[in-house]
Structure 1
Amino acid sequence: MRLTPAVPRLVRRTVRAYLILWRLRELAEAAELAASELVGNVAKHVPDRRCVLTVERRAAGVRVEVWDGSPVLPARPRTAGFEEESGRGLALVALVTHAWGVRPEGEEGKSGGKTVWFELDAEGS
């Protein structure tokens, strides 16, 4: 998808719809927030602003991946200063998810770039 101003809302709705369908409503808020952050990072840092969103049901919960064609890996979460308007996204993803990470791509049908992912576990899993 090519990112436009309407895409973050569409991403949140899509993620929520899958989680409701899979009876994982308790994960919806965190998944929407984290997915929005990852897609927002594509809009800010990837020149062509294109990405692929994948939402995958797992035995213990859900995994969300955002692939983009840029080989530049994201920085690790940092503590943003009080006056800074950005720099909290990955820290927020780390805070609301059970696990997250990034992997460079170049195989499995993807032509380079990277995938940033996160996982959320359902209660009682």
Structure 2
Amino acid sequence: MAVVQASVAGRDVRVWALTIRPREIGHWREAVADLLRDWRAREEVIALGEHGVSELLANVLRHVDDPRCSLRVSRTRRDLLVEVLDRSCRPPRVGLRPHWSAECGRGLWLLREMVDDLGYMPTPYPAGEWPSLGKTVWFLCRSVLPEEPN
């Protein structure tokens, strides 16, 4: 697992390259929770970050043939952005209000209801590393982190 850390012009970023396995989702929830605690986030923001990471990584396991992905968590001033980059160009499906007895389809819908913004974007990869196109699924929470110390 490669970890990249950067702090550039008011922006903190952590990136993990990983191969996700079902038993490891809890580890990544805790890694994000620890980072958010370092950033002095409130407990409800930490819980939201954990939930969102679980949902995005579980979707990689469920819907992407290749479990290699990247998890990126960043802050810009008071905003929190969480992204998962995977090797499938198939867009995530977030429909209207799901039927609560359905086997799937509730996770991204619920996450979308809890955050300020949820989306995806096609993401190209450098030649030779991964297929030429994958996607990044992300969620944004605005003004949820304390001001950074000067």
Q: TM-score of the superposition, structure 1-length normalised?
A: 0.88
1:118 paired residue number: 139
Asked if residue 74 in structure 1 is aligned to residue 88 in structure 2, the reply is no
Whole-Å separation in 2 of the counterparts to 1:108 and 1:25 = 37
Query: Structure 1 unaligned runs (5+)?
Result: none
How many residues are paired up? 125
Identity in percent:
34
Q: Kindly report structure 1 stretches of 4+ aligned residues shifted beyond 3 Å.
A: 107-111
- Secondary structure (helix, strand or coil) at the match of 1:105 reads strand
Shift in CA distance, 32/51, structure 1 to aligned 2, threshold 3 Å: same
Query: In angstroms, what is the RMSD of aligned CA positions?
Result: 2.1
Alignment of 1:36-51 (within 5 A): 36-51=54-69
Aligned equivalents of 2:146, 2:96: Cα separation in 1: 31
Within-5 A mapping of 1:85-96: 85-96=103-114
SS for the counterpart of 2:68 is coil
Structure label with greater radius of gyration: 2
Q: What SS does structure 1 have at the residue aligned with 2:139?
A: strand
More strand by share: 2
1:54 is aligned, of 61, 64, 72, to 72
Q: Which runs of 5+ in 2 are unaligned?
A: 1-17
Corresponding position: 1:34 with 2:52: yes
Structure 1 or 2: more helix by fraction: 1
